[in-house]
């Protein structure tokens, strides 16, 4: 049991457990609020974090504050929210009920609207937006593997929360323009659905030009819609979002050379949406592609490919058989 007020991960799944394990390994006091199955694995086997970079560490469960009851939020100095977007409002209610007024709340979730939901329910409290660029795979038995590169980014604040969350192997950077950063991440996250529909590892999928061209066309629809809204997305990869579709359409050999300079991908990396389909969980399609459709309707822009992808993902959710293993031509319809 930790003694100091810890950093609590609220809704610790793949990302939350990895971040929590890295923080604990870096000497931070850490607590995890998670499903009973996850807590049981960590109590029995410890929390093991590994990375495509070669790091591998196991934190004994006894060094963590482990809980399935939201009352644990009363202990938090910093609270990292990592629940699915559909669960944000419910988690906000739990935070309001249990967390101290001085707890710093940080949203480390996909999508662009979760921090606003938290702020609405937690008025008067400090809520920071965040963006996690990397992918984490849950390998079972308490092990979480980071499979792609990138640094976490959060809103800059006077307490320098970014520095308080940075440890060896996990860099958290402060940003003065998180909305644009989040929109840049949403554009990249559009591939979550394509990867889920393909059934392929991310690196294998992106090595195939037909899949990249499909993603490029999908991103182009989104970029037209975002531009109409007056949004200027900022990339987390170093490649300007407006140039990303052109990069994706390049021949395989040239793409591999350029992509190697911007992002590293483990051979076994897959998207969180693929994992959701495999485990029969609801996906975040409404908070990714669904946001693009909502903006398109507002500006009367046609986004047929985006709508097609939403329909295919929801059909796969309903079927409950995991990834449908579609080809790019099947996705296009």
pLDDT per residue as tens digits for the range 203-232: 999 999 999 999 999 999 999 999 999 999
| pLDDT surpassing 80 at residue 52 | yes
pLDDT of res. 173: 97
Share of residues in the chain with pLDDT > 90 (%):
92
261-298 pLDDT per residue, tens: 777 889 889 999 999 999 999 999 999 999 999 999 99
Instruction: Return the structure tokens found at 169.
Output: 């192997």
Give the pLDDT confidence of 298-331 residue by residue, as tens digits.
999 999 999 999 999 999 999 999 999 999 999 9
Q: Nearest to residue 91, comparing CAs of 58, 115, 75?
A: 115
Task: Calculate mean pLDDT across residues 126-139.
Answer: 95
pLDDT at 10: 98
- For residues 169 and 221, the answer to whether their CB atoms sit within 8 Å is no
* d(C-alpha 18, C-alpha 98), whole Å: 24
pTM of the model: 0.93
pLDDT of residue 312: 98
In sequence order, what are the residues at sequence separation of 6 or more whose Cβ sits closer than 8 angstroms to the Cβ of residue 318?
Answer: none
What integer pLDDT is reported at residue 142 of this predicted model? 96
pLDDT band at 40 (very low <50, low <70, confident <90, very high): very high
Measured at the alpha carbon of residue 152, what is the angle toward residues 143 and 29, in degrees to the nearest 5? Answer: 60
| Domains of the chain: residue spans and CATH | 7-176 (3.40.50.720), 179-332 (1.10.1040.10)
CB 274 within 8 A of CB 283: no
Give the chain's mean pLDDT: 95
């Amino acid at each position: 049991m930790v003694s100091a007020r810890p950093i609590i991960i609220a809704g610790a799944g793949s990302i939350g457990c990895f971040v929590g394990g890295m923080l604990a390994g870096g000497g931070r006091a850490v607590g995890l609020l998670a499903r009973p199955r996850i807590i049981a694995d960590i109590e029995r086997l410890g929390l093991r974090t590994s990375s495509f970079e070669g790091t591998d560490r196991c934190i004994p469960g006894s060094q963590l504050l482990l809980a399935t009851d939201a009352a644990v939020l009363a202990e938090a100095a910093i609270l990292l929210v990592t629940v699915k977007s559909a669960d944000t409002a419910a988690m906000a209610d739990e935070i309001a009920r249990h967390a101290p007024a001085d707890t710093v709340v940080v949203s480390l979730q996909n999508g662009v609207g979760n921090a606003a939901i938290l702020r609405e329910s937690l008025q008067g409290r400090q809520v920071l937006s965040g963006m996690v660029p990397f992918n984490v795979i849950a390998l079972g038995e308490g092990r979480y593997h980071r499979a792609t590169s990138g640094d976490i980014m959060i809103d800059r604040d006077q307490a320098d929360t970014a520095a308080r969350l940075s440890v060896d192997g996990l860099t958290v950077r402060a940003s003065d323009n998180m909305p644009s950063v989040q929109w840049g991440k949403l554009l990249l996250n559009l591939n979550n659905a394509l990867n889920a529909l393909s059934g392929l590892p991310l690196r294998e999928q992106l090595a195939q030009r037909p899949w990249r061209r499909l993603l490029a066309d999908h991103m182009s629809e989104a970029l037209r819609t975002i531009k109409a809204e007056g949004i200027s997305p900022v990339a987390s990869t170093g490649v300007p979002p407006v140039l990303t579709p052109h990069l994706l359409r390049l021949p395989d050999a040239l793409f591999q050379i350029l992509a190697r300079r911007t992002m590293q991908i483990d051979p076994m990396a897959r998207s969180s949406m693929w994992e959701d389909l495999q485990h029969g969980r609801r996906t975040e399609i409404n908070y990714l592609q669904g946001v693009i459709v909502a903006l398109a309707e507002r500006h009367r822009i046609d986004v047929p490919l985006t709508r097609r992808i939403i329909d295919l993902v929801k059909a796969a959710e309903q079927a409950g058989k995991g990834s449908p293993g579609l080809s790019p031509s099947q996705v296009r319809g």
